[in-house]
Amino acid sequence: MAYIFPEPSRTFSEYLLVPGYSSAECIPDRVSLKTPLVKFKKGEEPAISMNIPLVSAIMQAVSDDNLAVSLAKEGGVSFIYGSQSIESQAAMVARAKSYKAGFVASDSNITPETTLNEVLALKEETGHSTMPVTEDGTGNGKLVGIVTSRDYRVSRMTGEEKVASFMTPIEKLITAPAGTTLKEANDIIWDHKLNALPIVDDEGRLVHMVFRKDYDSHKNNPLELLDSHKKYVVGAGINTRDYEERVPALLKAGADVLCIDSSEGFSEWQKRTLAWVRENYGDTVKVGAGNVVDGEGFRFLAECGADFIKVGIGGGSICITREQKGIGRGQATALIDVCKERDKYYEETGIYIPVCSDGGIVHDYHFTLALAMGADFLMLGRYFARFDEAPGRRVSVGGTYMKEYWGEGSSRARNWQRYDMGGAKKLSFEEGVDSYVPYAGSLKDNVGLTLSKVRSTMCNCGALTIPELQKNAKLTLVSATSIVEGGAHDVVLKENTLSSNN
């Protein structure tokens, strides 16, 4: 008969952290959430570390170039989805990598022949009031002027006026040459009391814009994750079918780290993919693998050469693998099992392979539980899909704003490569759903709030770093009754009483 695990598989909601001793030094402002993204040898530093333990899921509804930049500003890494053409994915990576911190590639461009009505329509569409005027209307055309809201008065104009008649021409603009550093650009902005500074090359073509408002933004992102060239760190997903063409294209576009996107990682297909990467690039290319749910799966991928290993099958909010196929394991149990094997592997080899917990996160306190159970970082889909920066459309459903969110195993995504088992190139049946999630606003605000809870809880456990949390944390299983006790109970909430009286 089949092997049967002696213990039931459990979820994060079945555990609580028990407080430990908190010294006077243990305050949230002193907590460091820095964590390794890729494997390293004992006594050495990892090639890539993150400043927060969060990465975004390899999903169409979550990770594009826009979210990649936004998450890197907060200190994490986005894995741009691979269920698209190689050219399209590489272009997303290139756009994210070309976004230099503080330097903005202009996406609101006009020509001298553009009318005021067209300017107003573009302003309504993008929200941008500063628009470079280039000869061809592109973001890297020859700069001939700039239009801002100070250049026109709608009440005194017909709307048919050409931009050439009211723009501020190039000869009256202050610009800076390509190669100007961010500090130099900000000095020019402050010295000349500018709101925006165009950066142009030797031929007068627009390269970037630097805005006064972004100076404060740069100061407000002390944890932003940059590479050695001061560009944002960006990840990308690959599959086990077209890696020989996709990997070179993504590396050429500038991807810092790759991850095999698969529903199940304990397979010959991932072994082949990792072997090809190592044969052609050695250890210079960093590739994560997964997903697995037990120590045996971890050991397999570790020996195949994975740089980090993802844990979780069937625990995602839009994943229906468990009900469709009966495959998976409770996320908490899977994570604990894999992390035990990770530590054992480290003792045997001196090589530390970070573990990524992928799925099963419902509440903010689950973040801290996952870290305490051994995860080095978390991969999140639903969490990020709710934000402005995610690709899904914001729609009104029953008077409430929602964001579209669909699984890679849904018919909408058609990502058969993720569920590839060497057969026909199609989805035989769905393993994900198409859904909505409550709209939550900006990524920065929400990530800041979530991580403030994590830091506070870590202090309750007497830990100032993630390794300290993993070493010192105490976990207890909770009964169904104690779960009820943990929320508001045996009272009538005021807000419910007030709303029923209105």
Residue 393 catalytic?
A: no
DSSP string, 184-253: HHHHHHHHTT-SEEEEE-TTSBEEEEEEHHHHHHHHT-TT--B-TTSBB--EEEE-SSSHHHHHHHHHHH
Amino acid at 427: L
CA–CA distance, 136 with 116 (Å, rounded to integer): 17
CA–CA distance, 293 with 336 (Å, rounded to integer): 9
Task: Choose, from 26, 304, 319, 461, the residue flagged as catalytic.
Answer: 319
Task: Choose, from 95, 246, 382, 418, the residue flagged as catalytic.
Answer: 418
The owner of tokens 């509804």 is 61
Amino acid at 370: A
CA atoms within 13 A on the CB side of 220: 9
Tokens of 345: 């592997």
Residue 259 catalytic?
A: no
Asked if 376 and 311 touch (Cβ cutoff 8 Å), the reply is no
Q: Beta-strand (E) ranges in 322-416? A: 351-352, 355-358, 377-380, 394-397, 400-406
DSSP string, 24-89: TT--GGG----EESS-EETTS--S-EESSSEEE-S-TTT-SHHHHHHHHHHT-EEEE--SS-HHHH
Asked if 79 and 233 touch (Cβ cutoff 8 Å), the reply is no
The owner of tokens 């007068």 is 204
Q: At what angle do helices 365-372 and 331-349 cross, to 10 degrees?
A: 30
Active site residues: 319, 418
